[in-house]
Structure 1
Amino acid sequence: MSVQTKMDNLAVKFLSPEDINVAASVLYQAYHDDPLLKHVLQAKHEASFEKKLRALIREELSAFGHTGQPLVGLYNQARLMAVACVIADSNELEASRQWHWRLRLMMSAGYLQTQQLIEKERVIREELQAHEPYHFLSFIAVDPHVQGLGYGHYLLTALDDLLSQHDKTTGMAVFITQQDHLALFTAHDYHIIKNFVFSSVERTLLFKKK
């Protein structure tokens, strides 16, 4: 993957196992105030929500790693500035999320919460059937300490390069849960497929053709 920037010390590459804990921290900070996750995880106390969110991120990263799904990092020298978790093969990832993954997530996040997350993914897949085969941007996060400096734009540009390496994919889909992120994706030619309500919260599904 490559991306042209005005900063020579930026690099985009797949995450190494040594970077996973840092990536988990970046994702946790970015999604800590996500309204949909707060609703779905249904934590009565802040400490309970934080525990469930950490569990969700840990299990997601584990599932990505076991199936070889792309975990992409944007680095400024050796520091991880932004991370993207991309589903390139939803069938393989879904298979890895059978009993083992679901049991571990249910034990840490809760049965109903796990079922709601699975149902959310099912609804999204149905909406995207006409675009198969496609990539799906499951998570994207920029270190909160460096937000507003263009790292999100650099990372999305690098994901275009990732798509160009896959002849069969039709493009990239993303489900945004915070509407202030909409401008970032529309600036990179993502178009709205559908606005719909999930768990009483209105959210947006977008797609970018390859």
Structure 2
Amino acid sequence: MALRLLAVSDVHSPKFLLDFVAALKRRTGECRETSLYIFAGDMVYKGRVEALKSVLDALYSVCGEKPTIAVFGNEEFIGLEERFRKMYPSVKWLDDESIVVDVDGVRVGVVGTRGSLERPTMWQRRKMPWLWRVYAERIRRVEELLSRVKREADVTILVSHYTLTWRTLEGEPREIWPEMGHRGFEEVIRRVKPSLAIHGHAHKSRVLQVVVDSVPVYNVAFPARRDITIIEVEARVE
């Protein structure tokens, strides 16, 4: 049984909102056939919580209202999580958390995280030096969640805002790769083998999909694709 989902990140509403709406309208037929929406972070611009409403209104109007799962990005600023949860209760927000939902009879397990950086940005090093520890601990936490969810679900999806592999960073300046993602997640993917993995953040990427030890990994950043991403995955339904 196949599950079809729509994934996107980095709309930075209102920055790319009109382009996002145009992409939805170009692919109305396809997006209406999806059963689940996944936001991989940075859906709003610089902490503008209210700007997500236009994204959801457009998506639901063009493609229909369906289960929506999201992670926070670096522009859904740390400290704003509860505001997003309260303003958009229809969205299942995951912050180093997991959920198993029934989608058309398929048990879909999603582990969601902001992700980790191998080297915090200069601003983070100055203002949030404790992030070094958070990034290291997060990889272990995500692996635990992913292993647990895989035992419960027919489809297991890892969603991160920061990149999960450096292989999808081709096109970005190489010197900043450590500040865009963490290769430790590649090892998690190899060990646990989820059905697929999704990330955003890499706006200039020229490599939008790779396979890590049989697991497809998608960069769904809107600025890189100038499009939404439709993904079909086979579910193992017993």
TM-score range relative to shorter protein: 0.3 to 0.5
Q: TM-score, normalised by structure 2?
A: 0.30
TM-score by length of structure 1 reads: 0.33
